[in-house]
Amino acid sequence: MYRAGKHLLTSESVTEGHPDKIADQISDSILDAIMEQDKNCRVAAETFVTTGMALVGGEISTDCYVEIPDVIRSTIKDIGYTEPEYGFHWETCAVMTAIDRQSPDIAMGVDPGGAGDQGLMFGFACRETDEYMPLPIILAHKLTRRLSQVRKEGILDYLGPDGKSMVTIEYDRYDVKRVHSVILAAQHKDSVSTEDLRKDLMEKVIKEVIPGDLLDKDTNIYINQTGRFVRGGPYADAGLTGRKIIVDTYGGVGSHGGGAFSGKDPTKVDRSASYMARHAAKNVVAAGLADRCELQISYVIGHPDPVSIMVETRGTGKLGTDVKIGDVVKEVFDFRPKAIIDYLELKRPIFRKTAAYGHFGRPENEWDTFTWEKMNKVDELKKAAGL
């Protein structure tokens, strides 16, 4: 996605009250509730939300009992759909479930430690930010986090749970030059004027998040561009698990294998191997083996070892060839599904927290949950690389 010379790159984020993110959080809340009692559960929970309704379907195999409708309603309440005017209310929305067990044909390949499906997964890291993430997605997430913060803390008590952000950065190759554009859309009550809303969001959200030295007189700011965003959430748009995979990852930088994360237990390599790929890529960059690193892993269902592992540094590698970096990565990291699950401690009820504001680039105070963000393999990588 990066080019020689000056160019623009855009990433977006959405708040936890966005319909697709409601769906993701419900799916991961169900996973957490089951995993709290049964660490060896198999969960593939898909959620659909629309006006006054939440539907959960999928495949779940477990020996425990969870009152799934209560989990769904509690999640909706926590997100903030607590007022009837939102058209989607935690107490009164219809809740439906259509759940079966995991196919035994799949289980026979997964139980011995094989991958839960075929597929390809990617991880990415770069030196662009302290989080080893591209700047556009980091700023976009910080904007939506701040939107939720000012709503929940009553700083802007007229805001609703739904919202979006988008940030465009001007680059000269890999060097950040300035913020070209900021887009913010926030659901609000009818009582606030568009003028007051835009003023408040500029002062309380955008200026609190975007570094002042990256803003200039030519930066484009778009706040609630239509002038009205009263109807939001599932009342305005249907939501579905897994429909924000670029928001969940790197904001359009690098590649994506296509598999969503939320609602899937860690035997599904769509989730666990993507986490491990990020972990490896981040440690490669932190170890100084490259300034940018993208890692691809692929699997066949039922087999523990990856079919392929590829490293791509886009010309920033320090070992002569990316193949050499790939050899070092394979020496230091174990990409077998069971090894990933044990190493990253994924048999824990931690997944609801991942379902909003990105699975990657989380701050250090969250690394007990987001174990794949730890940079604990730097010394091993340096030693294996002979640095």
| Catalytic sites, residue numbers | 18, 20-21, 46, 59, 164, 229, 237-238, 243-244, 264, 268, 270
* 129 C-beta neighbours (distance < 10 Å), count: 15
User: Position of tokens 């269902």?
Assistant: 301
Two tokens at 10? Answer: 């855009």
Question: Strands of 175-188's sheet, edge to edge?
Answer: 6-14, 159-172, 175-188, 220-223
**Residue of 369, 370, 124, 110 whose CA lies nearest to 265:** 110
* 128 C-beta neighbours (distance < 10 Å), count: 22
Name 288's Cβ contacts closer than 8 Å, sequence gap at least 6. Answer: 318, 382, 387
- In terms of DSSP bridges, do strands 42-50 and 292-299 run parallel, antiparallel, or are they unpaired? unpaired
Cβ burial 331-364 (10 Å sphere, 16+ → b, else e): ebbebbbbebbebbebbebbbbbbbbbbbbbbee
User: Position of tokens 């401690």?
Assistant: 345
Cα separation of 170 and 181, whole Å? 9
Name 49's Cβ contacts closer than 8 Å, sequence gap at least 6. Answer: 19, 22, 23, 26, 55, 88, 234, 238, 239, 240
Cα separation of 123 and 311, whole Å? 10
Question: Strands of 119-126's sheet, edge to edge?
Answer: 119-126, 292-299, 308-312
Residue 264: DSSP 8-state: B
Q: Are 20 and 5 in contact (CB under 8 A)?
A: no
Cα separation of 154 and 163, whole Å? 16
